[in-house]
């Protein structure tokens, strides 16, 4: 069980988060919805263990993966090496299979600068899912994409989550994305920000 029990978070003298408490069950996808600047990415960094300067506790497994707004790839490493560096026990054959799963078959030796933005984001997804993470956090991974590319990435992410079934925390400001991917939606609002309500998915856990 993934568990957040955040009492408060300050940046200097400014309190940005009040009490924020929620659980994520194994295999469940939870969306964290709210306007830009409200503190969604701050919660994500706390949940991922990147930000440890907060009051409260977080329970999460060691086997986790993060998909950021930008691909955050190593530009001097090939697509294959970007996977193997992140998951050194994966093996080259499994890494090539992971690339093929996201539509990058035959692009093993390509460097990130030789890939389109859409291909770079597919590579970032492949890297995240390659190690079969128990916990996946995604920070607005479809931001700044045109509608066609965003739809392709949504469909691919949906399929990968359905296959791997990690506990997933998905940060977004787009309600349509939350309704598409999530089993449950948490809404962040206020100053300091707290969870104001929880919206259940009307499809009874089955993604459209």
- Please tell me the least confidently modeled range out of 68-72, 141-145, 190-194, 200-204: 200-204
Contact 65, 129 (CB under 8 A): yes
Q: What is the pTM of this model?
A: 0.86
Q: Name which of 33, 15, 35 is nearest 195 in CA terms.
A: 33
Model pLDDT, residue 198: 56
Classify 198 as helix, strand or coil. Answer: strand
Strand-pair category, 20-24 with 2-11 = antiparallel
Model pLDDT, residue 197: 60
Q: Provide mean pLDDT across the span 6-10.
A: 96
Query: pLDDT (tens digit, 9 = 90+) per residue, 52-111?
Result: 999 999 999 999 999 988 888 999 999 999 999 878 888 889 999 999 999 999 899 999
């Amino acid at each position: 069980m993934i568990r957040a029990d955040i009492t408060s978070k300050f940046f200097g003298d400014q309190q940005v988060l009040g009490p924020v408490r929620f659980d994520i069950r194994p295999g469940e996808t939870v969306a964290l919805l709210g306007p830009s600047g409200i503190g969604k990415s701050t919660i994500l960094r706390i949940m991922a263990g990147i930000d440890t300067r907060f009051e409260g506790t977080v329970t999460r497994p060691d086997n986790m993966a993060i998909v950021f707004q930008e691909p955050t790839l190593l530009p001097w490493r090939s697509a294959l090496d970007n996977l193997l560096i992140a998951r050194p026990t994966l093996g080259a054959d499994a890494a090539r299979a992971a690339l093929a799963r996201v539509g990058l078959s035959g692009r093993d030796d390509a460097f990130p600068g030789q890939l389109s933005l859409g291909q770079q984001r597919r590579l970032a997804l492949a890297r995240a899912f390659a190690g079969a993470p128990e916990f996946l956090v995604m920070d607005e991974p479809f931001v700044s994409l045109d509608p066609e590319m965003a739809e392709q990435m949504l469909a691919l992410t949906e399929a990968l989550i359905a296959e791997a079934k990690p506990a997933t925390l998905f940060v977004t400001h787009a309600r349509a994305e939350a309704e598409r991917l999530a089993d449950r939606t948490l809404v962040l609002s206020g100053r300091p920000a707290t969870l104001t309500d929880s919206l259940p998915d009307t499809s009874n856990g089955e993604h459209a």
